[in-house]
Amino acid sequence: MSDAVAKIAAAQWGLSPCNVRLAARRENAVYQVGGHALRLHRVGYRSDAELISELDWMAWLARGGMQVPAPVLSRAGRLVETVAGVQVSVISWLPGRMLGAQGALDGVTDRVALVRQLGALLAQLHDLSDAWTPPAGFTRPCWDAAGLAGDAPLWGPFWDHPHLTADQRALFLAARDTARAHLARLDAPDFGLIHADAITENLMLDGDQLALIDFDDGGWGYRDFDLATFLFRQLAAPDYPALRAALLDGYAIRRPVDPATLDLFLCLRALTYPGWIVPRLHEPGGAERSARAIAQAEPLARRYLEAVT
């Protein structure tokens, strides 16, 4: 079904339906059409206003010299079209390859240097975003205290995951409540537009240059949450301490990061995933991803509570 929609949509951008090729099927179905990426957005996940805001932001970042996909207007002059009930947008296709899956840094010989480069890239993202005045009507998700540790967080109440034991639920609730109080105590935290999903699947490597893609979850949030999102997938790596130091070193061109605050956001990042998977449990691989999300979040929640209580 989505292949047929993609071919119909391609024509609305003046692209050849014959060149449509499925590239990835994650939150969105992404098709490569020559030098373009045609995205069929997950139904009900984002409003048109949110998608247009995402694309406006990406256009600003591209104009600022950052390697990110740039939006492409349809033949009717719109950033988003609806085809057969599916929202569609088109962006430029970036050269290179995906860095890796599940935190892998595939084919990277100098892991520390690459991660240091990522720190600088995230600093550039935050600096360019701070220099921008969003247009009227700009709206994106908010990864603030309510969005991360409120009663109705952005990715759902992780403590109500149906597969949690009573002890796990109590642990997640304790971590949520402690993190909520911790966030309230932060002194002038760096807050603004963030990518919110800087995982290896969303990093493109072209030669030795990194680029960010997939701003689908980007919005307002704590800047340290961007750093924690990448580091979360590196926790089990033997060289994790070196990677963490390199990321913070690269980011320090913007400002230093408090280790205790970073550990707070590592815990919160881990807790988002059990909430995220609940509405996707019925999808292929949902049960396995669910078990992994809980298994990864539990020790981080315990360590965080032990460190602050």
Please count the CA atoms within 13 angstroms of the CA of 83 that sit on its side-chain side.
23
Q: Indicate if the pLDDT at residue 273 is higher than 70.
A: yes
Token pair of 29 as six digits: 């179905």
For residue 26, the model assigns a pLDDT of 84
Strands 20-25 and 29-33, by their bridges, are: antiparallel
C-alpha dihedral sign at 276, 280, 286, 287: positive
Output the average pLDDT for the chain.
96
Q: Which residues, at least 6 apart from 299, have a Cβ–Cβ distance to it below 8 Å?
A: none
Domains in the chain, start-ordered, CATH in brackets? 2-93 (3.30.200.20), 111-308 (3.90.1200.10)
For residue 2, the model assigns a pLDDT of 85
295-309 residues labelled b (16+ CB within 10 A) or e (exposed):
ebbbebbeebbeeee
For residue 197, the model assigns a pLDDT of 97
**Average pLDDT estimate for 225-233:** 98
Say if CB 221 and CB 196 are below 8 A apart.
yes
pLDDT tens, position by position, 288-305: 999 999 999 999 999 999
Say if CB 122 and CB 227 are below 8 A apart.
yes
Q: Indicate if the pLDDT at residue 1 is higher than 80.
A: no
Q: Which residues, at least 6 apart from 108, have a Cβ–Cβ distance to it below 8 Å?
A: 99, 114, 205
Q: Which residue has the higher pLDDT, 174 or 24?
A: 174
- CA 125/CA 202 separation, integer angstroms: 14
pLDDT tens, position by position, 76-111: 999 999 999 999 999 999 999 999 999 999 999 999
List the alpha helices (DSSP H) in 131-165.
Answer: 145-149
Q: Indicate if the pLDDT at residue 27 is higher than 90.
A: no
